[in-house]
Amino acid sequence: MEISLGGEMLRFDNLGQYLLLKNGNFLYKVPYRGKWAVLKVYFGSRGWWGCVRKSLNNWIQDQSSFMPRKRRANELRAMRVWREAGLRVFDTYEDVTVAGLPEGGYALFEYAEGTKFSAYFADPSVSLDAKRAMWQRYLDEAGRRHALCIEKREPALIHENGDLKHVLILDSDDLLYFDFEVTYRSPGKVRRHIARELLAFLRSLGRYAGKDVFDPLLEDTRKHYPHPDLLRECYRILYRHPNPLHRLGRILERAVKPRARKPYSIHNVALLFREDSSGT
């Protein structure tokens, strides 16, 4: 839901006292209409040249710009796309101006509390059965979203920054998704980028949950994710990529970068789907 508030002006004498997080942006938990809201400022945490360099790297990776105003516009558009697809994202408070901040460089979102996937799947007090049920629920939602992504050729329906930290279990039991500043660009490459998202979430699952949880949830992924062809793509995009230079780069990366050889690196997670891809 997008909420229009008729050009409301907000002023904060000491915005720093509301700082919630600095993570490439500045996030502030600010008082708003008797409750709290999150003010996200896209300027300030990186210099101009750093944003330019990141934008160039994003262009090579078929991703959107990293410049502050572009990140804001991209995130708001992606959230509209997800919302229209029936997925839960933060409500956005439109037509709100914050005095002293650069125009087009910030946004005001609802403040919502819940449990991040990263904490839920790492929590030893949560039973394996409960974790499997929650993961299957995520797979169902992801499967529907990915089918719509392919049908509409809409890259914004792919979670570019796939990480368990970016899914929240609300008190209502809804799953809320966030962090859409950067998205993929090319409609013709959505299948490839969906596979990247799957690999990213599985890598994150392994890192947070550990082997005893990861192994059964990997099997659940094979059984319950409704697009086995996209699971096969997880191996292909790294090791059967149509561009030989890309394949060579991945081989060299695995050979020279220690992090690429970690148990739950993208490389090692992709190799788990090698047999799925044999003969296809």
Q: Which domain holds residue 246?
A: 114-277
Query: Where is average pLDDT lowest: 51-55, 95-99, 155-159?
Result: 51-55
Q: Predicted confidence band at 5 (pLDDT cuts at 50, 70, 90)?
A: very low
Same domain, 187 and 266: yes
Grouping H, G, I as helix, E, B as strand and the rest as coil, residue 24 is coil
Q: Residue 158 is encoded by which pair of tokens?
A: 């792919």
Residues 126 and 213 occupy one common structural domain: yes
Quote the CA–CA distance of 55 and 137 in Å, as a whole number. 34
Asked if residue 257 and residue 135 are part of one domain, the reply reads: yes
Residue 52 and residue 35: Cα distance in Å, rounded?
A: 37
Distance CA 116, CA 122 (A): 10
Distance (Å, whole) CA 2 – CA 251: 45
Q: What is the mean pLDDT of residues 217-236?
A: 95
**Beta strands 175-177 and 35-41: pairing type?**
unpaired
Residue for token digits 């050729």? 153
Q: Please report which confidence band the pLDDT of residue 142 belongs to, taking 50, 70 and 90 as the band edges.
A: very high
Mean pLDDT of 168-182: 95
Asked whether residue 247 carries a pLDDT value surpassing 60, the answer given is: yes
**Is residue 3 very low, low, confident or very high in pLDDT (cuts 50, 70, 90)?**
very low
Region 107-134: mean pLDDT is 97
- 70 and 191 within one domain: no
Over residues 163-167, the mean pLDDT reads 97
118 and 86 in a single domain? The answer is: no
Of 91, 80, 88, whose CA–CA distance to 176 is shortest?
88
What mean pLDDT do residues 196-218 have? 97
Same domain, 139 and 266: yes
pLDDT-derived band at 195, boundaries 50, 70, 90: very high
Identify the domain boundary among 64, 89, 110.
Answer: 110
- pLDDT surpassing 60 at residue 71: yes
147 plus 261 within the same structural domain: yes
Residues 210, 154 share a domain: yes
Mean pLDDT of all residues in 85-95 = 94
Residues 92 and 148 occupy one common structural domain: no
Tell me: pLDDT of 88 over 90: yes
**What integer pLDDT is reported at residue 57 of this predicted model?**
87
Q: How far is CA 7 from the centre of its chain?
A: 30
> What strands lie across the sheet with 19-22, from one edge to the other?
2-10, 92-98, 106-110, 35-41, 26-32, 19-22
Higher pLDDT, 27 or 3: 27
CA 139 – CA 137 distance, rounded (Å): 5
Give 198's pLDDT tier (boundaries 50, 70, 90): very high
| Percent of the chain's residues with pLDDT above 70 | 96
Q: Rounded mean pLDDT of 197-205? A: 97
Which residue, of 80, 110, 140, is where some domain finishes?
110
d(CA 188, CA 149): 11
Spell out where 189-266 has E strands.
none
**Inter-residue contact 81 to 156 (CB < 8 Å):** yes
Sorting pLDDT into bands at 50, 70 and 90, what band is 278?
low
The yes-or-no verdict on residue 19 having pLDDT over 60 is: yes
My answer on whether 42 and 122 are in the same domain is no
- Whether residue 203 sits in one domain with residue 125: yes
The answer, yes or no, to whether residue 250 has pLDDT greater than 60, is yes
Count up the domains in the chain and report the number: 2
| CATH code at position 51 | 3.30.200
Tell me the one-letter amino acid at 145: R
Comparing 143 with 61, which gets the higher pLDDT? 143
Which tokens in the block code for residue 164? 């368990």
One domain, residues 210 and 170: yes
For residues 19 and 178, give the distance between their C-alpha atoms in angstroms, rounded to a whole number.
19
Number of Cβ within 10 Å of residue 32's Cβ equals 18
Q: How confident is the model at residue 1 (pLDDT cuts 50, 70, 90)?
A: very low
- Among 38-52, 122-136, 190-204, 226-240, the range scoring the smallest mean pLDDT is 38-52
Name the domain boundary from 79, 110, 141.
110
